[in-house]
């Protein structure tokens, strides 16, 4: 009797998910005897592409760092703008003593440039370092920042800028050793090989009906069903207006 393998719309998987799925599928089937099931040739074709899938995974990890850097850069700009906006708000108030502190802070902003945070990554980091070094050595600015309740912005900016600098260095080190690959081409090739593997599995289940194909099929189908369910749920969330691109990749624990 023919044993059916469920088909998964692989093109709906993100690159990171595709790598996880491929690795999990291999892990599931490696628990069975491919030679005994007459599937060695078909399965070996899948195994032969796994090193290429590993390269996609490595490349995707670099992309994750790039997104983290972009998010941190946005936070840096938000903190700087938040500081300036807070000072601007105090400039419109009649609170006793606030005016002199506003003058100090505005002079400080002008000194470092009100376009602070709007340059390229490296320039932003260097300028913010100068901005913070000046702040740390300037008692008048610290007093004004405390009076206008923006110290928290400075403290957070210091932490975020250091985190950005460390992560940028990490990405530079990794980029030097990461091979750039054509993820689409690799995925297309593995899609083809997986289809051949599924077809061979189903064919052999009819040809050698005395062998147990149902047990490995159940394990593979459980894995595929999980991904299909998660993909369907994500589509529903996206159609409802959710920002699904920031979610964690689908995986089976």
User: Can you tell me whether residue 11 is helix, strand or coil?
Assistant: helix
Angle at 104 between CA 102 and CA 106, to 5 degrees: 65
Q: In whole angstroms, what is the distance from residue 7 CA to residue 13 CA?
A: 13
Say what the pLDDT of residue 63 is: 66
Q: In whole angstroms, what is the distance from residue 178 CA to residue 19 CA?
A: 16
Kindly report each contact of residues 110-115 with a partner whose C-beta sits within 8 Å and lies 24 or more positions away, as own/partner: 114/84
Round to the nearest angstrom and report the end-to-end CA distance of the chain.
32
Say what the pLDDT of residue 9 is: 93
**Backbone phi, then psi, for 194, in 5-degree steps?**
-65, -40
Q: What are the residues whose beta carbons fall under 8 Å from the beta carbon of 220, sequence distance 6 or more?
A: 5, 6, 25, 28, 29
pLDDT by 10s per residue, the chain, length 253: 789 999 999 999 988 899 999 999 999 999 999 999 999 999 999 999 999 999 888 877 766 777 788 889 999 999 999 999 999 999 999 988 899 999 999 999 999 999 998 888 888 999 999 999 999 999 999 999 999 999 999 999 999 999 999 988 887 666 555 567 888 999 999 999 999 999 999 999 999 989 999 999 999 999 999 999 999 998 998 888 887 776 777 766 5
What's the Cα-to-Cα distance from 173 to each of 62, 116, 126, 195, 246, rounded to whole Å? 10, 27, 19, 38, 25
Say what the pLDDT of residue 177 is: 54
Alpha-helix runs per DSSP H in the chain: 15-29, 40-91, 98-112, 121-137, 139-147, 151-175, 183-207, 214-239
Q: Is the pTM here over 0.95, yes or no?
A: no
Q: Shortest CA distance to 185 belongs to which of 59, 65, 64, 63?
A: 59
Angle at 197 between CA 38 and CA 184, to 5 degrees: 150
Say what the pLDDT of residue 179 is: 67
- Please, what sign has the CA dihedral across residues 163, 168, 173, 177? positive
Domain ranges of the chain: 10-62+180-246, 67-175
The two tokens of residue 3 are 């044993």
- H or E segment at 249? none
Is residue 108 within 8 Å of 102, Cβ to Cβ?
no
Residue with structure tokens 């030097």? Answer: 176
Say what the pLDDT of residue 227 is: 94
Q: Shortest CA distance to 226 belongs to which of 249, 193, 244, 247?
A: 249
């Amino acid at each position: 009797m023919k044993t059916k393998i469920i088909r998964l719309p692989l093109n709906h998987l993100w690159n990171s998910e595709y790598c996880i799925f491929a690795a999990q599928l291999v892990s599931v089937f490696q628990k069975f005897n491919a030679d005994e099931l007459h599937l060695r040739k078909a399965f070996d074709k899948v195994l032969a592409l796994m090193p290429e899938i590993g390269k996609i995974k490595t490349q995707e990890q670099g992309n994750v760092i790039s997104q983290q850097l972009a998010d941190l850069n946005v936070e840096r700009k938000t903190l700087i703008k938040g500081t300036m906006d807070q000072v601007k708000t105090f400039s419109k108030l009649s609170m006793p003593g606030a005016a002199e502190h506003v003058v100090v802070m505005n002079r400080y902003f002008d000194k470092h440039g009100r376009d602070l945070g709007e340059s390229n990554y490296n320039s932003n980091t260097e300028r913010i370092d100068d901005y913070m070094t000046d702040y740390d050595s300037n008692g008048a600015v610290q007093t004004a920042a405390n009076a206008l309740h923006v110290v928290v912005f400075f403290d957070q900016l210091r932490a975020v800028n250091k985190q950005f600098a460390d992560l940028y260095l990490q990405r530079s080190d990794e980029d030097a050793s990461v091979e750039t690959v054509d993820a689409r081409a690799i995925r297309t090739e593995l899609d083809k090989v997986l289809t051949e593997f599924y077809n061979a599995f189903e064919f052999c289940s009819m040809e050698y009906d005395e062998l147990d194909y149902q047990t490995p099929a159940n394990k593979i189908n459980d894995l595929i069903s999980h991904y299909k369910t998660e993909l369907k749920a994500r589509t529903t969330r996206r159609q409802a207006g959710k920002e699904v691109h920031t979610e964690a990749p689908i995986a089976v624990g």
